[in-house]
Amino acid sequence: MPAGGSIVIENSTFSSNTAGGASGGGAINFSGPASAVPPQGFFGNALDIHNSTFNNNSATTGPGGAFALSSFTGAMFLRDCTFTANAAATSGGAVAITSGSGTVLAQDSTIFGNTANGAAAGTGGGGLARTSTTAATVTISNSVVSGNTNANAPDILSAAGTTTTVNFSAIGSGTGFTFSGTSGNNVPLGTNLQLGSLANNGGPTLTHAFSACSDTYCSNALRSGPVPRIRNRS
């Protein structure tokens, strides 16, 4: 999508797609603003991805193994999503925002087992990368961003100007970004979550479930309120 627009994705799977161009985005490449006046049924100023899985997609030259955004303004919402086994040549094994003032919210989502192969300064983010230097926010809530791979920033890369807020979540490595002052109630960095293989765990798409994590541990360490909040849609 070269000139912005609107996206709503729900109950969908994007698997084994490849992008060879420098702009990346193995499954989806979006450039420009999210439409302020979208068609009926779409959300204004937002890209909404819900209850979906991005698996084994790759950007062989550029960023964003599954999803790449450039010159992006608006908000990207990832709700109840799984990103796994995606790979990018540079930054953002799963998701990369390379330019623009766009924000990202990952809620009740799992970003696990993705790889960014960039080694140069300013590249990385095995799971999620916001390399745009325009001020904006990355918000992670009730989610897993862990078990991803990159030499500079294994899980999250946030460029200068990005405020990264993480609450009630499990992050593998803190290298590559700084927790904002309003972050808290997170599982200790690097906790072995013992996620199972991608499988049918009862939702509309394949997900990773906690394979050996006891109900007591999950409900006490990964919750906000009376029920577990990192659900992995299992």
Helix (H, G, I), strand (E, B) or coil at 221: helix
230 inside domain: no
Q: What range does the domain containing 129 cover? A: 7-190
* pLDDT per residue as tens, the chain (234 positions): 446 788 989 999 999 999 999 999 999 999 999 888 777 777 778 899 999 999 999 999 999 999 999 999 999 999 999 999 999 999 999 999 999 999 999 998 999 999 999 999 999 999 999 999 999 999 999 899 999 999 999 999 999 999 999 998 889 999 999 999 999 988 889 988 888 888 888 888 888 887 655 444 454 444 443 223 444 444
Hey, what amino acid is at 131?
T
Quick check: is 177 in a domain?
A: yes
List phi, psi (to 5°) of 218. -65, -40
The DSSP H or E segment spanning 69 is: strand 67-73
In this structure, is residue 203 part of a structural domain?
no
Residue 62 lies in a domain: yes
Number of structural domains (the chain) is 1
The three-state secondary structure class of 79 is: strand
Q: Answer yes or no: is 204 within a domain.
A: no
What is 143-167 written as a DSSP string? -EEES-B-SS-SSEEE-TTEEEEEE
Q: How far is residue 158 CA from its own chain's centroid?
A: 12
Q: Determine the 3-state secondary structure of 218 from DSSP.
A: helix
- Would residue 233 count as lying in a domain? no
Whether 198 maps to a domain, the answer reads no
